[in-house]
Amino acid sequence: MIKYFFAFWLFVLPVLAKTVGAIALTVNGNPITTWEIEQLHQKAHIPKEDAVNALIQERIEEEEMQKQGIFATPAEIEKRITQIAAQNKLTPEQFEKALQKEGKTLTSFKKELAKQIKKEKLYQRILAGKLKKPTEAQIREYYESHKKMFTIPGKVKIQEYLSNDPRALQAILMQPMLMLPNVKITPRTLDPRKTNPQLMQLILETPTRKFTQIIKLGKDKYAMFFVQHKGKAVTAPFEQVKQNIMLRLMKEQEQAQLIAYFEKKKSEADIKVIRKP
């Protein structure tokens, strides 16, 4: 029985390998395998049809990068790594250990970054000279048509916790009733329309009766906030959300331009389906 079983797998495994690694389609002669489609389908939790379309666009992007001589230099990659590490307050050694915990190596991460940098450069070239800054009238029209998107609570009651030691604030997060001499607690009532937008965003994203994350305000100055109560929702003033609306409209323009560009390239591409994914 064992011999027959072994012989069966000797026959089946090569067949499975051929199927899994088989070419599903080609884009201008560049292959896309069934394995790639399956991997993206599972990792991104998207339908196989969407995975196929994403990989087709990826092949077209790669071809355009090659045609236009777009690449990422080692200096650009190192600079991006330094920025990411700094944003996460990590030393190079700590950053590499964090990557290892995620099952990545520094080499594989550099490859991902190179791919991302090249894609950014390609998109910048595609969009160059094609985007128009929204007018005041367009921004106002969007605001009036989407007021529900810009509702904010009325006045918000919080407890402000300030300290020169983030570990003290962390201890209170673990034991909220803890009283420490190096932590100053002040009750405050904030008006969202008159408060720093970044701070207000942090507080609005935090559920009632919960602490915000700890933030650094300056040298040896840290804070967190306990959200006690959020007042009845009101519509944010136009001037307060004007910048956000402009950025949103610009982003919509970018997406529309990129979709149109790649749809045209896709229609022009020689796409040959060899087998169903």
Residues sharing a CB contact under 8 Å with residue 122, sequence separation 6 or more, in sequence order? 61, 64, 65, 68, 70
Specify the number of domains making up the chain.
3
Cα–Cα dist 61/258, whole Å: 11
Question: Of the residues 69, 98, 116, which one is the last residue of a structural domain?
Answer: 69
Same domain, 13 and 65: yes
Q: Is the pTM of this model over 0.85?
A: no
Same domain, 228 and 183: yes
Same domain, 44 and 62: yes
Residue numbers of the domain that contains 225: 154-232
Is 14 a residue whose pLDDT tops 60? no
- Ranking 81-95, 138-152, 168-182 by mean pLDDT, the lowest is 81-95
Does residue 241 sit within a domain?
Answer: no
Residue 21 — very low, low, confident or very high, per pLDDT cuts 50/70/90? low
Q: What is the pLDDT of residue 205?
A: 87
Does residue 251 sit within a domain?
Answer: no
Question: Of the residues 69, 93, 116, which one is the last residue of a structural domain?
Answer: 69
Q: State pLDDT tens for residues 93-113.
A: 898 998 998 888 999 999 999
Q: Match 């190079």 to its residue by tokens.
A: 92
Compute and round to an integer the Cα radius of gyration of the chain: 26
The mean per-residue pLDDT over the stretch 146-171 comes to 91
Q: Give the helix ranges, DSSP H, for 21-135.
A: 34-43, 48-68, 74-87, 92-101, 106-127
Q: Match 């402000």 to its residue by tokens.
A: 160
Does residue 40 sit within a domain?
Answer: yes
Helix, strand or coil, per DSSP, at residue 163? strand
Does residue 186 sit within a domain?
Answer: yes
Q: What is the pLDDT of residue 148?
A: 86
Q: What is the pLDDT of residue 195?
A: 85
Helix, strand or coil, per DSSP, at residue 43? helix
Same domain, 81 and 34: no
Residue 154 — very low, low, confident or very high, per pLDDT cuts 50/70/90? confident
Both tokens assigned to 21? 């690694």
Is 37 a residue whose pLDDT tops 50? yes
Does residue 147 sit within a domain?
Answer: no
**Secondary structure of the chain: what % helix, strand, coil (to 5)?**
55, 15, 25
Same domain, 48 and 89: no
Count Cβ atoms below 10 Å from residue 12 Cβ, excluding itself. Answer: 10
Q: What is the pLDDT of residue 242?
A: 92
Residue 8 — very low, low, confident or very high, per pLDDT cuts 50/70/90? very low
Same domain, 51 and 103: no
Which residue would you say has higher pLDDT here, 272 or 198? 272
Is 202 a residue whose pLDDT tops 60? yes
Does residue 237 sit within a domain?
Answer: no
Is 12 a residue whose pLDDT tops 50? no
Same domain, 37 and 61: yes
Does residue 91 sit within a domain?
Answer: yes
Does residue 194 sit within a domain?
Answer: yes
Q: How far is the CA of 138 from the CAs of 46, 244, 255, 257, 267, in angstroms?
A: 34, 13, 18, 18, 32
Same domain, 27 and 65: yes
Same domain, 79 and 60: no
- Ranking 3-17, 137-151, 155-169, 199-213 by mean pLDDT, the lowest is 3-17
Is 130 a residue whose pLDDT tops 80? yes
- DSSP run (H or E) holding 151: strand 151-152
